[in-house]
Amino acid sequence: MLKGQDQKKYVRTIAVASGKGGVGKTNVTANLAISLHKLGKKVMIVDGDLGLSNIDVLLHLAPKHTIQNLLEGDLHLKDVLIEGPHGIKILPAGSGVQELTALNEFQRLKILEAFDSYSDDVDVLLIDTAAGISENVAFFCIAAQEIVIVTSPEPTAITDAYALIKVLSTRYQEKEFHVLVNSVKNSDEAVEVFRRLSLAADKFLNISLDYLGYLPYDESVQNAVREQQAFVDLYPNRPISRRIMEIAQLFLDRSEKVKGTLQFFIGNLLSASSVVAREKALDTEPVVER
């Protein structure tokens, strides 16, 4: 049982994933977190790219400790968490720690134990997964209540987004995915990207995808990255900032559909750990069609 945790306290858990790197997944996560905060929610980000820290670099943070300290048993979750913009809590990843790129079962259970002993309030937990189809990505995706797949108009990004959806669907039985199309010229281009993904998923996987929306290409995003600030803070009146706020509001409007306590997330972590361990033991990874 969580110490001091209200059993009726709802926590929304969202994994943000992508088939390939370079589509803006971490930027989406950081700006979505800040947007949710501006809408009155207490937010935590878990940097799920455990061996290659991203969130702290993007937001110009300098953590003294990382999830590596947590997994080694030196510290508790509250000791490792750092404060990001607007008081958002962030669990930073290690930097250049290869052994964290594929957690073993003991390490996954350590993460479960860490959240089990955490008592502060959280309304939304965002997990910025690594890019690709690794076991760590699967672990976090199947533990979360919702999965957001970030892609872009590049053919390789679309192909790899489908590959990720296919692995999560066929190997781990995930059936619901939100799709966010990033860095597009206009809404028509975004809808076409989603249409291509949706047709393939419906035909070959027999699942339906949910169109979450799009973010327009904006040169100010790169300026914000260079300044190591969130674009929603640095350029609040730009179209992309308004769009990310709309997407954050959309999640809140749907909040009645997905409810669970932090204990529910912990239970999902335990189940996810068992599933990943079983699949690894069975060695049944399918061939991903390109």
Spatial separation of the C-alpha atoms in residues 254 and 259, rounded to whole Å: 10
Distance between CA atoms of residues 110 and 107, nearest Å: 5
Q: Report how far residue 129's alpha carbon sits from residue 26's, in angstroms, rounded to the nearest whole number.
A: 8
Mark out the alpha helices in 75-182 (DSSP H runs).
77-80, 105-116, 135-143, 155-170
This prediction's pTM? 0.89
- Count the helix, strand and coil residues of the chain and give each as a percent rounded to the nearest 5: 50, 15, 35
Q: Read off the pLDDT of residues 242-281 as tens digits, 9 standing for 90 and up.
A: 999 999 999 988 865 565 666 667 777 777 777 887 887 7
pLDDT in tens, 85-117: 999 999 999 887 777 777 888 888 888 888 887
* Domain at 22-28+39-145+257-278: CATH architecture: 3-Layer(aba) Sandwich (3.40)
40: left (phi over 0), alpha (psi -120 to 50) or beta: left
- Tens digits of residue pLDDT in 204-232: 999 989 999 999 999 999 999 999 999 99
147-156: per-residue pLDDT in tens?
999 999 999 9
Structure tokens at 224: 């914000």
Contact 3, 119 (CB under 8 A): yes
